[in-house]
Chain A
């Protein structure tokens, strides 16, 4: 805490993270530390060395002969006690938790060994003999198996494109990359044969739609799958949504082995076989009028989701559907979306989730268009940005942009970076033969996803045949003990963002306490927590909807306390204020009663409570984000509840000799609505920025021509590290969202969406090329210069 005096409100103050004391003392409790049941055995997974092959034979006898080995479960045995994982779009390719007879990516599980310890399990895994008949893998996106092919048209894209003065066409490929959490996947599975149910501990991050997926694959209904996630996390960045698969796999293995089983993924498994972002090819046409007005966009997208269409995919493709026009008022948009399977690891969530891919195409096209049109990049953006007086703004594809002042953000970032001086300095540098470039991008950052957007992968007719899906909701519980201790229970499965801190700030304001007085529990137990199908930690949903549930629960509890206090103080409820641990009559601070006394009365003397007040001080409630209707018959979707805005400018210098890209300056202006905690904001922004710079300059999951992953350790997967992250100057404009309780919007993904294309545009400007691929490693930039 900074200073001793309380700020006017805790929300909005740079409160220090309540999480950090325990973490810095080494008192964090991660799932690998857990031994929740006695007698846990350890699993190692036998994985396919082929990207595509038929399993001819599996011989487990040598592994089973090893002392200390309890069970070797083959894919066929695992399939005998499970069902295929339900997918968003049904395909002919059945996806079991382990391969039955055909492997489709390197690293796909084919058997699981259960042994006394992990060492023995790995010894035994090496003794499992598998005969494969290798088959030809499919790696080229354009040759992938198409499992969804949809065409969309909004306005009159054909007519507008025809009439356009300039049409800028380009192909923009985005590589697979990942979030690299320090903590890998961990699952402990304890099958109960007495009632055929599973209790699983997993460092899962949601969305809890995948709880339903896992339960269905395990053949469990109702309360059959009890899923518990620890409060501490070693990071996720979206990647740990895919832990749901491991819950199915280890659940089945625990059932077959008759033992509680723990599996801790190693780094090679994680980088080769856990999950990945999608790879995407976008052919984009952007039509402009003679004075630079963006009149039409036509997308043709091929999305590589890997060997199986794993839920919630193809969500990466549709998360941004409401925002296909980005920050611009473009009325005519066409899109063709093909989702293809290739022999690579199945994809799932990764920070930015569709945003980096979309904006790499759209904002590259804007940069290339500025050159073609002979209009300065800033002027071209200004010419097309949605005006500040048009909010809430409905996009042609159905999003409702809640609030914003895009031009003010643009002005702010230009001032922050000193744009005019930078342009002058670039001119001087070029005269000296130096390769200095300037890039920018404007990015609308959606948050709080509509659960219904994924159904755009189906046609309106297919959707009409099923139950509609929409909305995004969250629950929270707040309780006050007999001695006025306050506990908040979250269902937002935080992965390091600081949800506990913000929850304590919100409730401290409502109850007249300090954040230090509030205990927050982040562990989630599907048998006891107030979760919903949309719970979890994704689509930057905490600031918009997680806080709404906490705020609502806190409001109800505060109201109950004020009613009891009013009875005590013989005044009207609306005259009671909660401050400094006491309830007092407004204007008469001497007339007051302590929260401790009120709580004591509620617990010890419920007979005395005012009429209509129930005993106990525990509130569980739910909040729903507004305006998230199901997709309509014209394929319009309000894909997210809130929309932040990010505009970035980067200045880079390319080393002529080596092709190395140095970022000389980088500025980013955000409008994320009301900032709940400026200190957490900076942490989130810097993290999202680092992730974006990673894929811009070095990170890429590489496969060889046979489909073998080549980036299976941190020696080869060039995860960005502190020395490679440049300085970031960030600043903020606040236009509160009218659609979220506290006016806040998501902000942790924006720079992951913007940085890749901003840096790409700066490199384009520096070396004078239009076409390039990420990541822009020194050897690739050197090759670009050689070609130029």
Chain B
């Protein structure tokens, strides 16, 4: 379980890093390495060059700015989850981080790495899509922003090019009338979930007027459950709404069998998780009224 040979570069600036990526074919960015290093050791990934960005000084920020919390590419998942700014301004993100791997892997794994890795079983991509966040990517040609919903193409593939580096993610700060919940089910503590649901609802005058329900682990990328989200609009949440949203969610997913669970089970599970997350989000937004 040793990686195949690769070149190793450790640039001190983003400019140097993108230059190396532009000059190589098949370069890979190394941040926390919690997914990349196992892939190298299992010889499932054979990058020509590994670009270690850990010595680039200005990628460690967590800061509120113009209605979003900006998170630098080298912010570790544990730092992100422990941040009081994130906890108070982006509670959905803080909630989901505790499900990402294990305590010790979160000390090394980065938020940006989890997004750029685009694993359909990742929690952070689901949360970013649910919140309508975005990422900033840089290459030699310059920089651009990508909406979360456009970032995740399929498993282990984003809409970034191989020469771009994800330098920052932006997490929208939503107001007090919003309610959030993240719910997942895994067979062991820290395992990839068999299903997960992120919910963000906006409640005004006792009725939900905006809602996003996003599922993870059931498709090749975070899946926005349009119909299930629509079912909760325009009314206070009650048993009838929970049930109709749940049914819409189950109808919208078609997960595959794997060695741990049948697709049938995972579909059922998505319904359970939608139900649990909606109740929790409703309680979160209303302080428990009717919840």
Please give the residue numbers on chain A whose beta carbons come within 8 Å of chain B beta carbons, in ascending order: 118-119, 122-123, 126, 266-268, 657-660, 698, 702, 710-711, 713, 715-716, 718, 720-721, 723-724, 777-779, 782-783
Contact = CB atoms under 8 A, between A and B. Distances in A.
A132 B2 CA distance: 25
20 contacts: A122-B4, A123-B5, A126-B4, A268-B1, A268-B42, A657-B272, A658-B185, A658-B269, A660-B185, A698-B187, A710-B259, A715-B191, A716-B259, A723-B189, A777-B187, A777-B261, A778-B261, A779-B260, A782-B268, A783-B265
Contact of B1 (A267, A660, A778, A783): A267
B43 to A, nearest CB: 7
B188 A658 contact: no
Contacts of B262: 779, 783
Contact of A718 (B2, B5, B191, B268): B191
B2 A779 contact: no
B189 A721 contact: yes
Given A123-B4, A126-B43, A698-B188, A782 B259 contact: no
Contacts of A782: 265, 268
**Binding site secondary structure of chain B:** loop
B187 A718 contact: yes
Contacts of B192: 715
Contacts of B2: 118-119, 122
Q: Which of A660, A711, A718 has the most CB of B within 10 A?
A: A718
A122 B4 CA distance: 8
Interface residues of B, number: 24
Contact of B261 (A702, A723, A779): A779
Interface of B: 1-5, 42-43, 185, 187-192, 194, 259-262, 265, 268-269, 272, 275
Leading 9 A-B pairs by shortest Cβ distance? A266-B1, A723-B189, A779-B261, A779-B265, A657-B272, A119-B2, A702-B259, A710-B259, A122-B2
B185 A778 contact: yes
B246 to A, nearest CB: 11
A715 B192 CA distance: 8
A658 B259 contact: no
Contacts of B272: 657-658
Given A123-B5, A266-B1, A783-B262, A724 B269 contact: no
A711 B4 CA distance: 23
A123 B43 CA distance: 10
Contacts of B261: 777-779
B59 to A, nearest CB: 28
Contacts of B194: 778-779
Q: Which of B4, B259, B262, B269 has the most CB of A within 10 A?
A: B259
A711 B259 CA distance: 9
Contacts of A267: 1
B224 to A, nearest CB: 23
Q: Which of A657, A715, A723 has the most CB of B within 10 A?
A: A657
A777 B185 CA distance: 12
A718 B265 contact: no
A123 B189 CA distance: 35
A718 B188 contact: yes
A658 B270 CA distance: 10
A716 B261 CA distance: 12
Contacts of B4: 122-123, 126
B229 to A, nearest CB: 21
A16 B275 CA distance: 50
Given A126-B4, A779-B262, A783-B262, 14 more contacts: A118-B2, A122-B4, A123-B5, A266-B1, A268-B42, A715-B191, A718-B187, A720-B188, A723-B189, A724-B188, A777-B187, A777-B260, A779-B194, A782-B268
Contacts of A716: 259-260
Contacts of B1: 122, 266-268
Contacts of A711: 259
B185 to A, nearest CB: 6
Contacts of B43: 122, 126
